[in-house]
Structure 1
Amino acid sequence: MIRLDIIADYACPWCYLGKAMLDRALEAHPQHPFTVEWHPYQIDPSVPPEGMDRLEYMAARFGDVAAITRVHEPLLAMAEKAGVQFNMPAITRTPSTMKAHRLTHWAALEGRQAAMVSALYRAYWREGQDIGDAATLTRIAVQAGMDEALTARLLASDADRDLIAERIAHSRSRGVTSVPTFIVADRHALMGAQQPALWAQVIAEVTQGLSQTEETPDE
């Protein structure tokens, strides 16, 4: 199997779109060679732990409503073509994603990383849930099969906060400045949301490379 490392942030709409298009490609190629591992990132670490009102945050970053609409136009146009749904009106908070990344780390320790990543992206971009809120995250964790009391206790503490910060710093030290970033076999990096057709090509090339490597010459 080949590692596919994905560096992403739940607050990034392009990460959600990129995940959705990758998922589509992997589903269309069930024999793909990838073992997927997700890595944390924060596109705006200045967001306070309690999060911010969504409209106030967007206005501070981009200006008036017209400017916000223009910012989203390319994203929503690509999403529509790809059949990926966003529910922007439902989103009322811009969260700090530190707790969500910590929860993802704990889910990974239990072999639940993929399910947790999907649940968190869906909760925020499709359902408008506040994924910076500990109670919301605990509920999502329980739905994913994690222990309620343990999850709540961990989220109420600073457990693994430094670890997540170190992992984010490590990605930045490797030159990651935008997300999503996809790293294939620890060698080749793809930046941004990629179409399923491109992923199909990558899968074909990687699979062919594996086949050639596994071939043994006749003696």
Structure 2
Amino acid sequence: MARRRPRWYFSFRSPYSWMAYRDLMADHRDVAERIDWLPFWEPDAETSGHLEQAGISLPYVAMSKEKHLYILQDVRRLARDRGLEMVWPVDRHPRWEVAHLAYLVADELGHGPEFIAAVYRARWEEGQDISDPAVIAYIAERLGLDPVRLSTACDDPAVREHGLGSLNSLYRDGVFGVPFFINGYEKFWGVDRLPGFVSSVRAGAA
């Protein structure tokens, strides 16, 4: 059996995933170009129903108030250490399929990295609501992609089927949070584990 490529699971929702993306692209672009980028999101009721039928249970746990308050403090500290200006978005009616399934379409069209960069910028630097199809349509248009196709990806049965495959992949990989990096049998969870993952990928390449 062929060994799977190194990979990292990211989420547009997570500020830690955003910071890992910034670190990866700023300091480890050679590794970024040699790994698979796979989305992680909290599924809506329709997706959850399909996962349940397939016997897939994702390890997502609702966040406590205490953890939320800690994350607010921790993220501000980490952003300051990186010299990043961030805006904490307000998710009034989050539907994470909107952005993450649009990513799958953009990736199939060969524009996955550009889409990721634009969505992270919209959410964490501009405070936009990426669950709003109009925001995704605007991003797609700026990238020269079909705004209707990307903004309605969450309503396309074929794209949803692709999304189920992505969630099944993270289930099989034992992913329980983001950012999550895997190289062979080695797993690295958290933005502070990125250097170890980078070293592991580079050692394998050497």
| TM-score, structure 1 normalization | 0.72
**In the TM superposition, what is the alpha-carbon distance from 1:18 to its structure 2 partner?**
1.4
State the Cα distance separating 1:210 from its structure 2 match: 3.3
Distance 1:47 1:21, change over 3 A: farther
Give 1:100's aligned residue.
99
Alignment-mate amino acid for residue 99 of structure 1: V
Gaps of 5+ in 2: 48-61
Structure-2 residue corresponding to 1:56: none
Q: Is the 8 A contact 1:182 1:191 kept in 2?
A: yes
The match for 2:192 is 194
Cα pair 2:136 2:147 within 8 Å, conserved: no
Q: Flag the 1:68–1:94 CA change in 2: closer, same or farther, 3 A.
A: farther
Instruction: Say which one has the larger Rg.
Output: 1
Listed as ranges, the matches of 1:66-215 within 5 Å are 68-88=68-88, 90-93=89-92, 95-152=94-151, 154-184=153-183, 186-194=184-192, 199=195, 203=198, 206-211=201-206
Distance 1:177 1:102, change over 3 A: same
Give the conservation status (yes or no) of the 8 Å contact 1:97–1:132: yes
SS of the equivalent of 2:124 reads helix
- Of the three residues 28, 33, 58, the one matched with 1:26 is 28
Distance 1:173 1:143, change over 3 A: same
Between structures 1 and 2, the one with greater strand share: 1
- The residue type equivalent to 2:189 in the other structure is M
Deviations 1:74-99 (A, max 9, x none): 222122112233211x5353622112
1:46-83 per-position Cα deviation (integer Å, ceiling 9, x unaligned): 5899xxxxxxxxxx9544xx975433112221221122
Give the Cα–Cα distance (whole angstroms) in 1 for the partners of residues 79 and 36 of structure 2. 24
Q: Could you tell me how far apart the structure 2 residues matched to 1:94 and 1:161 are? A: 20
Name the amino acid aligned to 1:176: V
2:54 counterpart residue number = none
Q: C-alpha displacement at 1:35, in angstroms?
A: 1.7
**Cα separation, 1, equivalents of 2:182 and 2:197:** 12
Q: Go from structure 1 to structure 2 and tell me whether the alpha carbon gap of 1:174 and 1:146 turns closer, same or farther (over 3 Å shift).
A: same
- C-alpha displacement at 1:165, in angstroms? 2.4
Deviations 1:144-165 (A, max 9, x none): 1202344355455444113212
CA distance in 2, matches of 1:205, 1:41: 22
Q: What TM-score results when the alignment is normalised by the length of structure 2?
A: 0.76
2:58 aligns with none
Residue 128 of structure 1: how far off its partner (Å): 1.2
Cα pair 1:33 1:203 within 8 Å, conserved: no
Unaligned 5+ segments in structure 1 are 50-59, 212-219
Distance 1:143 1:107, change over 3 A: same
Deviation at 1:115, TM superposition (A): 0.5
Check 1:67–1:38 CA distance in 2 against 1; reply closer, same or farther (3 A cut): closer
Matches of 1:48 and 1:68 in 2, distance apart? 27
| 2:105 counterpart SS class | helix
How far did residue 7 of structure 1 move?
0.8
Q: Is the 8 A contact 2:94 2:131 kept in 1?
A: yes
RMSD of aligned Cα (Å): 3.1
SS in structure 2 at match of 1:183: strand
